[in-house]
Chain A
């Protein structure tokens, strides 16, 4: 009997495939920004090492604050720093930023319109540490919060660009983080990230895959595999969950026979819900298959095992795009 896959300790990389990777793209981008932006300060709640912010700390130790395991205070302090003119990037895990610090994110940051950037590690099923560490519903919580920009980047290119865009944007941002060695899926030379804009990465009229976060990498791989089977799949990458690019989503859906959504998040309240609302509002009727996490807390386990068990792999997108019944 083959040995079962095991849960890995914290600090694992995001890279799973054969693509080139970039190490700590968020921390690198923030360090670069720090050179010309003395207003940028970094904060973490005892997760500096695990949220890739140490390159910034090492370059600008005076502008870095580790507040200990206290996420409410992390967000409150960030709001206070913003009120004195700084642009704080505060890192923790998505579960803590959303569930534990939510009142602070909602009131001290969003309601008060403070220029705070919350960077949230371990989005969805990127850790095997179980329900306590898997931020499976953070996008839903954050997108319901008035005034927040919500970003779920796809890869190293997206993260670097979104970090710059978040720094340039004057207002509150919640950004999911992919850490460690992060694959390069989007061309860093040609790809442009713009808050609130979706990007069509591939055209194809048979089926349209609308993806966010790292699921866009899988959507592209699925589209390649589908092409070999004679199915033409388009891919729309939607890295900004809020503000949502409803026009692009509606136009894309109208151009295909059926739609598949793909997200590393519960399908209730996340991208699938947004797409369904958008199509309904636009009067577009298409079959809609939803790839994402179920309405339940998820156990501990090896990440590949869990991603397969909860059907967010490339194979699951292919099956949905072919119209095969989902497991």
Chain B
């Protein structure tokens, strides 16, 4: 079977943007079921995941274990809502399953588990993703594979010391087949980031990463950064994504910065309408 997005062509911005909008529709649908969920985080990271799944990441929906696939590791397991949206949009899990998000016995848990198709690691115990990504990148290089490893982690997660253990080793082992995508959305469990992590880019540079800092909701910028991160100059890559929680739904963008965004039961219809209005502006 052929891998998607391989070999890489020029990005079709309009098509990828349409996927991102669809993913946001999926996210609202999922969150409405339990009446909450990590809808703010999901909407914030949707553009980056759309760029990965519909342009950069090499994978085969018919053979998820294909050895030559790129690996995408979602370290923040509670962002699962965004991953389920991407996997459904990519045809890996059925769209009809999205409404089970967070329900008993659903495969689409509120935090990722590796038994769901398309999930590489058990995320959610923050600080786990990057180290496992380093191990995979070492393993792939040892095999002579050209597959790459993309690890999503978050600004709050950088407070976990193991993040820096992993960063040290990625630099030390010159893993230029590793791309860290750091979602800086400014929130963590207790609200707005409680421990200042700035300057974020300087930290990753100091650890030996080829570091880019971009607006993570600017799809064209994300695509450009991913293209630059294909460089093989012996340095691992860091892309700092400055994202807006709730992106694409103005009411949620403006809502108080919280780990669980508050949504009243009667609001969902209005939020969906906002998303459609925004999407129309985008797509013309």
B is a partner of A:
yes
What is the interface of chain A, defined by CB distance below 8 A to chain B?
Answer: 41, 62-63, 65, 67-68, 70, 72-73, 75-86, 88, 103-104, 107-108, 111-112
Q: List 17 A-B contacts (CB under 8 A).
A: A73-B165, A73-B166, A73-B168, A76-B134, A76-B162, A77-B169, A78-B135, A79-B131, A79-B135, A80-B135, A81-B135, A81-B136, A81-B139, A83-B132, A86-B139, A107-B122, A108-B121
**Docked-complex contact A73 and B169, CB < 8 angstroms:** yes
User: Chain B 227-253, CB within 8 Å of chain A: the 1/0 string?
Assistant: 000000000000000000000000000
Q: Which residues of A contact B143 (CB under 8 A)?
A: 84-85
- Nearest to A45 among chain B residues (CB) is B165
Interface of A is mostly: helix
Q: Is B196 an interface residue (CB 8 A)?
A: no
Of the candidates B71, B136, B137, B172, the one having the most CB atoms from chain A within 10 angstroms of its own CB is B136
**Docked-complex contact B168 and A68, CB < 8 angstroms:** yes
Q: Is B114 an interface residue (CB 8 A)?
A: yes
**Docked-complex contact B136 and A80, CB < 8 angstroms:** yes
Known: A77-B131, A103-B125. A85 touches B139 (CB 8 A): yes
Q: Which residues of B contact A62 (CB under 8 A)?
A: 142
Q: Which residues of B contact A82 (CB under 8 A)?
A: 135
Q: Which residues of A contact B67 (CB under 8 A)?
A: 85
**Docked-complex contact A112 and B121, CB < 8 angstroms:** yes
Q: Is B156 an interface residue (CB 8 A)?
A: no
Q: How far is the CA of A78 from the CA of B133 in the complex (A)?
A: 10
Q: How far is the CA of A96 from the CA of B139 in the complex (A)?
A: 24
Q: How far is the CA of A263 from the CA of B150 in the complex (A)?
A: 45
Q: Which residues of A contact B114 (CB under 8 A)?
A: 112
A38 smallest CB distance to B (angstroms): 10
Instruction: Please count the residue pairs between chain A and chain B whose beta carbons lie under 8 angstroms apart in the complex.
Output: 98
Other A-B pairs beyond A80-B135, A84-B143, A86-B139, 13, CB < 8 Å: A63-B142, A65-B138, A67-B165, A68-B172, A70-B165, A73-B131, A73-B166, A76-B135, A79-B131, A80-B132, A80-B134, A85-B139, A103-B125
Q: Which residues of B contact A88 (CB under 8 A)?
A: 135
Top 4 nearest A-B pairs (CB, nearest first) are A80-B135, A76-B131, A84-B139, A73-B165
Q: How far is the CA of A304 from the CA of B254 in the complex (A)?
A: 67
Q: Which residues of A contact B130 (CB under 8 A)?
A: 76
Q: Which residues of A contact B56 (CB under 8 A)?
A: none
Q: How far is the CA of A283 from the CA of B43 in the complex (A)?
A: 58
Q: How far is the CA of A68 from the CA of B165 in the complex (A)?
A: 9
Among B172-198, those with CB < 8 Å from A are 172-173
User: Chain B 55-94, CB within 8 Å of chain A: the 1/0 string?
Assistant: 0000000000001000100000000000000000000000
Of the candidates A77, A78, A82, A103, the one having the most CB atoms from chain B within 10 angstroms of its own CB is A77
Known: A70-B168, A73-B165, A73-B169. A83 touches B122 (CB 8 A): no
Q: Is B40 an interface residue (CB 8 A)?
A: no
Q: Is B140 an interface residue (CB 8 A)?
A: yes
**Docked-complex contact B131 and A80, CB < 8 angstroms:** yes
Q: Is B128 an interface residue (CB 8 A)?
A: yes
**Docked-complex contact A65 and B122, CB < 8 angstroms:** no
**Docked-complex contact A81 and B138, CB < 8 angstroms:** yes
Q: Is B157 an interface residue (CB 8 A)?
A: no
Of the candidates A83, A104, A112, the one having the most CB atoms from chain B within 10 angstroms of its own CB is A83
Q: How far is the CA of A108 from the CA of B132 in the complex (A)?
A: 8
Q: Which residues of A contact B133 (CB under 8 A)?
A: 80
Q: How far is the CA of A271 from the CA of B60 in the complex (A)?
A: 48
B114 smallest CB distance to A (angstroms): 6
**Docked-complex contact B142 and A86, CB < 8 angstroms:** yes
Q: Which residues of A contact B47 (CB under 8 A)?
A: none
- Nearest to B173 among chain A residues (CB) is A65
Known: A68-B169, A83-B120, A112-B122. A76 touches B139 (CB 8 A): no
Q: Which residues of B contact A103 (CB under 8 A)?
A: 125, 128
Q: How far is the CA of A84 from the CA of B128 in the complex (A)?
A: 16
**Docked-complex contact A72 and B139, CB < 8 angstroms:** no
Q: Which residues of B contact A68 (CB under 8 A)?
A: 168-169, 172
User: Chain B 146-178, CB within 8 Å of chain A: the 1/0 string?
Assistant: 000000000000000110011011001100000
**Docked-complex contact A72 and B122, CB < 8 angstroms:** no
- Nearest to A76 among chain B residues (CB) is B131
**Docked-complex contact B128 and A76, CB < 8 angstroms:** yes
- Nearest to B161 among chain A residues (CB) is A72
Q: How far is the CA of A195 from the CA of B134 in the complex (A)?
A: 31
Q: How far is the CA of A252 from the CA of B131 in the complex (A)?
A: 45
Q: How far is the CA of A80 from the CA of B138 in the complex (A)?
A: 8
Q: Is B118 an interface residue (CB 8 A)?
A: no
**Docked-complex contact A107 and B142, CB < 8 angstroms:** no
**Docked-complex contact B135 and A77, CB < 8 angstroms:** yes
Q: Which residues of A contact B136 (CB under 8 A)?
A: 80-81, 83-84
Q: Is B216 an interface residue (CB 8 A)?
A: no
Q: Is B127 an interface residue (CB 8 A)?
A: yes
**Docked-complex contact B128 and A108, CB < 8 angstroms:** yes
- Nearest to A43 among chain B residues (CB) is B135
A303 smallest CB distance to B (angstroms): 31
- Nearest to A103 among chain B residues (CB) is B125
B138 smallest CB distance to A (angstroms): 6
Q: How far is the CA of A222 from the CA of B115 in the complex (A)?
A: 50
Q: Which residues of B contact A78 (CB under 8 A)?
A: 135
Known: A73-B162, A76-B132, A81-B136. A41 touches B168 (CB 8 A): no
Q: Which residues of B contact A108 (CB under 8 A)?
A: 121-122, 128, 131-132
Q: Which residues of A contact B128 (CB under 8 A)?
A: 76, 103-104, 107-108
